[in-house]
Amino acid sequence: MIDLENGNYPIKLGGDDVLIELNQFIGDYYSSSSIFILCDSNTVKHCLSKLDWLDLENIKSAEVLEIEPGEASKSIEVYYQLVESLLDLGANRKSVLINLGGGVVSDLGGFIASTFKRGIDFINVPTSLLAMVDASIGGKTGINAGGAKNQIGIFSEPAAIFISDVFLETLPNKEINSGLGEMVKHLLISDEHALSKLDELTENVKIEDIANSISVKLNFVKGDFKESGARKALNYGHTFGHAIESFLMNKGISITHGEAVFIGILIENQLAVQLGNMSELEKSSIENWMHTKFDLKSFFKQIETEEIISLLQFDKKNIDHSVSFSLVGPIGKCSINVHPDNSNIESSLSIFCN
């Protein structure tokens, strides 16, 4: 088992032993509390049974709250329905919510717990690679609004995070690849030798790889929890990525968050080259690796440039209507609060979408 240093709450990684630790943690701190487990229909089917062997009565008698998978569930309507369910089931301020699922469950569940009766404890048990290396870490919670991602939310830390690789066995390759999107981001913003390490990121992810990626994120979060400075580097690939994800989501076109981040990285690297942050060789090396791993070209054919430019205005980093980017260059370093003019933004996007 791996214990990551994080002064505010425990983060434990491993296999079945981590689920035993979860069992013990519930027994130590919530033996007299009502337990609720938030899942989507996929995690109910594939992951919930992996808790069945735990012998703690609280978990066996927990109430399961089920949502539909996908970003559409991160809505004010679903949020309200779940709050109503908690009230109907007698949840109180001593209750605890276990978020058993991927990024949507982590974001939505954390927001529900942080606002229900002014805040109850929640525990993240991520079941997707994306949630393990990103969504469950760092205390960001929220829901979507106005056709854009994460417009309503709060910074709130879980009581604990338990990451077990037994859940990776339940994931299709598409979901593993989605998590690799965030792992690539962490590597490129933190390691000057990242280009030589890209080929080490494969579908055969080890728990040590997950721990290393989480450690990068924790280093950026430390000292900048509410993202006023250094933590903004973690938004690399996300300014364009979130806009593209929102656009395709609104059109009913399926894309994973990690795929959207990969596309965002490609476009933002082009922007970084135009601004002199990144060399053409660095950009090409990343681009070539991505195209050998993932089929992203089909998404570009469906993107409408003007709509993406419009959606960029919803990015939470923006100041005075100026779109803000976090751009890598040179490799291993990330410049934050970069405000390119509209012509550079449009040309970096049009290279891929025309």
The residues annotated with a catalytic role in the active site are 118, 140, 182, 217, 227, 231, 235, 238, 242, 257
Contact in structure between 49 and 64 (CB atoms under 8 Å): no
Task: With CA atoms as reference, report the closest residue to 133 among 212, 21, 195, 70.
Answer: 212
Rounded-to-integer distance, Cα 337 and Cα 122, Å: 32
Q: CA-CA distances (angstroms) from residue 247 to 172, 218, 240, 264, 337?
A: 24, 30, 10, 13, 23
Q: What angle do CA 235, 240, 246 make, to 5 degrees?
A: 105
Report helix, strand or coil for 156. coil
In DSSP notation, 249-308 reads HHTT----HHHHHHHHHHHHHHHHHHHTSS-HHHHHHHHHHHHHH---HHHHTT--HHHH
Contact in structure between 122 and 96 (CB atoms under 8 Å): yes
Rounded-to-integer distance, Cα 204 and Cα 202, Å: 5
Rounded-to-integer distance, Cα 4 and Cα 214, Å: 9
Q: CA-CA distances (angstroms) from residue 154 to 109, 181, 307?
A: 12, 24, 27
Rounded-to-integer distance, Cα 3 and Cα 203, Å: 23
State both tokens at 218: 């924790």
Report helix, strand or coil for 87. helix
For β-strands 140-145 and 148-155, DSSP reports them as antiparallel
Question: Residue type at 196?
Answer: S
